Amino acid sequence: MTTNPSNYKNGDIYEFRKVHPCGGKNWKMVRAGVDCKLECTTCKRIIIVPRIELQKKIKKVISHEEIPV
């Protein structure tokens, strides 16, 4: 299952297909744009991934963070 790239939002948590070396599979979106900045929820490592590659890496959306307006 791939997610719609226009739905990437800051604060969302995604499950990746492959496991990170620390053992975590969940990543939190820190910044969404052409290049997306993600933080591992287990070890807090930050990576920058192009949006096109991110679309292939995501297995499913774990949660959407609701930001009050």
Closest CA to 30 of 18, 19, 21, 41: 41
Phi, psi of 14 (to 5 degrees): -120, 145
Two tokens at 15? 């499950």
Where do the structural domains in the chain lie, given as residue ranges?
5-63
Stated pTM of the model: 0.80
Torsion of CA 4, 31, 34, 22, to 10 degrees: -80
Would you state the pLDDT for residue 23? 92
Instruction: Please give the Cα distance from 4 to 60 (Å, whole number).
Output: 11
pLDDT one-digit tens code per residue, 24-63: 999 999 999 999 999 999 999 999 999 999 999 999 998 8
| Higher-confidence position of 64 and 27 | 27
